[in-house]
Amino acid sequence: MGFRMLTLGLTDGATFIPFAFSLLSSHRKENQLCPMDASVDGRSKRAHLRKESQEKTPEVFFNLLDGALKHCPLISTILFDSWFSFPALIRQCAHRGLSVVCMLKNTPKIYYSFGGKARALSSLFNRIQKRPCGNIIGSGVVNLNLTGKPLYARIVFVRSEKQKSQWLALLSTDLTLSEEEIVTLYGKRWDIEVFFKMVKSVLKLTREFQVRSYDALVSHTSIVFIRYIMLAVIARRNTDPRTFGELFYACYDEIQDMTLMEALALLLELFKSTMKQVFVLSEEKVKELLIYFVNSLPAWLKGKVLVLNCES
């Protein structure tokens, strides 16, 4: 009550775990449920959390993100919904070496450079080349930095599941991703919605205690998150088939790949039949060309082909 929970989670595409959170209040004292007690030591963690709760949401966003990058340097992509999809925020994520995939707001107040002109999202939708069918309508590459060094991103328009006549827009700063890959990658963000539903409905985040102490709220939220992490680890160990290491070796032994010698034999037979059919050559001429071909091969491969000819 009186706080907004900003949460950052980590996922490998299969398991989601909450990494950090902040209970946000307001920098205006009249909007604060319980103002900070002046007796709290400003050097303590308690004071730090209270000051953080009064900062603006984008500032706290990057505090959580920088903490994740410090402890998990392998993070490559950040996903978020339209609450944070502002070009300035996306640019700061890109400056940290992260690719961004997010949902965009259809608002006339935000512009993207497309075709040399600054356009709103709806104007951009009217100018892209559209697909004749399918859930993906089309896409376009835009510049998010109207002044200075350009930052290019791809905006993908997809049909809304609720109303087919409506559309949604997804943005990705990784131009190597296809339209389908961008849609699939953004779908991974739904794991955090499942997490919110779980902690509120099952783990009793909002109903287990009734307190006004900020320290108690932070402690209770941390305990609930730890409960969820424990359940996520158990679920991964019990249900994730990728943890069955021996399954890979069993399949490998059962379905053995073609050996190099077998592949070379097939290539040589294909080479002979092709020369006979295309060039209408005799058997002797084919053998002469084959010997010339073998002599032109590298030494390590030439020896294997000679052994193959002796065996045949």
155: left (phi over 0), alpha (psi -120 to 50) or beta: beta
**pTM as predicted:** 0.69
pLDDT at 258: 57
pLDDT at 132: 82
pLDDT at 145: 86
pLDDT at 65: 92
Residue 281, CA distances (Å) to 30, 269, 273, 290, 295 in order = 95, 15, 10, 12, 20
pLDDT at 77: 92
Q: For 236-271, how does the pLDDT look when each residue is reduced to its tens digit (9 = 90+)?
A: 888 766 555 566 666 656 555 556 677 777 777 888
Q: For 77-133, how does the pLDDT look when each residue is reduced to its tens digit (9 = 90+)?
A: 999 999 899 999 999 999 999 999 999 998 889 999 998 889 999 999 998 888 888
User: CA nearest 76: which of 102, 103, 104, 96?
Assistant: 96
**Are 275 and 289 contacting, i.e. CB atoms less than 8 angstroms apart?**
yes
Q: Please count the other Cβ atoms lying within 10 Å of the Cβ belonging to residue 206.
A: 15
pLDDT at 157: 94
Residue 209, CA distances (Å) to 8, 52, 174, 312 in order = 23, 23, 44, 81
Q: For 215-227, how does the pLDDT look when each residue is reduced to its tens digit (9 = 90+)?
A: 888 899 999 999 9
Token pair recorded at residue 138: 């089309």
Q: Which residue has the higher pLDDT, 32 or 292?
A: 292
The answer on pLDDT for 278 being more than 60 is: yes
Q: What are the start-end ranges of the H helices in 188-244?
A: 190-201, 214-239
pLDDT at 232: 92
Provide CB contacts within 8 A for 89, sequence distance 6+: 58, 61
pLDDT at 39: 74
Q: Please count the other Cβ atoms lying within 10 Å of the Cβ belonging to residue 172.
A: 24
> CA 97, 102, 105, 111: dihedral to nearest 10 degrees?
30
Residue 306, CA distances (Å) to 122, 258, 284, 293 in order = 66, 19, 18, 12
Residue 137, CA distances (Å) to 31, 40, 114, 130, 160 in order = 43, 55, 17, 5, 10
Q: For 153-210, how does the pLDDT look when each residue is reduced to its tens digit (9 = 90+)?
A: 999 999 888 777 789 999 999 999 999 999 999 999 999 999 999 999 999 888 888 8
User: Mean pLDDT across the stretch 47-73?
Assistant: 87
Q: Which residue has the higher pLDDT, 278 or 115?
A: 115
Residue 115, CA distances (Å) to 128, 142, 264 in order = 10, 8, 52
pLDDT at 248: 61
pLDDT at 215: 85
Provide CB contacts within 8 A for 16, sequence distance 6+: 9, 10, 191, 192, 194, 195, 232
Q: For 2-56, how does the pLDDT look when each residue is reduced to its tens digit (9 = 90+)?
A: 688 999 999 988 889 999 999 888 777 766 666 667 777 777 777 788 888 888 8
- DSSP-derived pairing of the beta strands 117-119 and 152-159: unpaired
Q: How far is CA 66 from the centre of its chain?
A: 17
φ, ψ (nearest 5 deg) of residue 271: -65, -45
Q: How far apart are CA 274 and CA 279, in angstroms?
A: 8
